[in-house]
Amino acid sequence: MNRSIHRAYRSLTLLVSIAILAMSVNIAHAKNVKKQNILELMTHTDSILIGTVSKKTDGFQKGLPYTEITLEVGQSLKGNHGSSYTFRQFGLIEPKSMGDGRVNLMVTPAGWPTYVKGEQVMLFLHKPASETGFQTTAGLTQGKFMIRGDRIANDTNNDSLFAGVKINGQLSATQQNLVDQPVGTYAAGDFFSLIKTAVEENWIENGVMTHEK
C-alpha cells in the first residue's frame, strides 16, 4: 500500500513539474515575443480564419491545462476548414479547484490572447504543436484581430504592421492607403481582401511580398 501511495505521489509530482515547466517556458516566450509585421505573421501562420467565438471551455490534457476555443467560421482565408473550428491553447480560463483542496493556478499566461464568447475575430494561427496539439496565434496577441463593426485591429492597434514590408505588385487605392497607414484600425473589408489575395496568389512564395532592403 505504501509503495502504491509512493508511486502515485511520484507520478503526481512529475505531472506538476511538467506543467510548471511548460507554464514558465510559455510565459518567458510571451515576455520575449518581438513585434511582428504582416509578412512575419503570415510566414508563421498555418491557418487564417474569420469568424465568431461560439464556445469557450477549459480543462486538462495529460496533466497540462488548456482553454478550448470554438470558432464559428465565416471565412477561411488559409487552410481547409469547415463551418466550425476548435483549438486548444495552453492555460486555464481561471484558477480551477481540483476537488481535493488544491487549486490549479495555471491560467493563460500574460501576453497571450484571450477570447470572449460572441466576439468577432480574424485569427492568424500557428500549426498545432506536434506533442500536445495546442495551438495559438502567430505573434500571440498580434495575430488575433478584433472586428468591431466595419473596422479591425489587433492588440497593438495595428502599430507598424506593414513596416519593413515591400509589396511588388499593383494594389487598389484603398489597399495602398491601408499599407501606408502607420497605426490605427483598418477598414475590415480592405484588410480581408488584401490578405486573401496575398494567400491565393502566393505573394510570399513568389516574392511579391518581401522584406524591404
Q: What total of structural domains would you count in the chain? A: 1
Could you read off the pLDDT tens digit of each residue along the chain, which spans 213 residues? 455 555 544 544 444 454 454 545 444 444 556 899 999 999 999 999 999 999 999 999 999 999 999 999 999 999 989 999 999 999 999 999 888 888 999 999 999 999 999 999 999 999 999 999 999 999 999 999 999 999 999 999 999 999 999 999 889 999 999 999 999 999 999 999 999 999 999 999 999 999 997
DSSP string, 154-191: -TTTTTTTTTTEEE-S---HHHHHHHH--SS-EEHHHH
76 φ, ψ to 5°?
Answer: -115, 105
Domain that holds residue 50: 2-211
What is the pTM for the complete model shown? 0.83
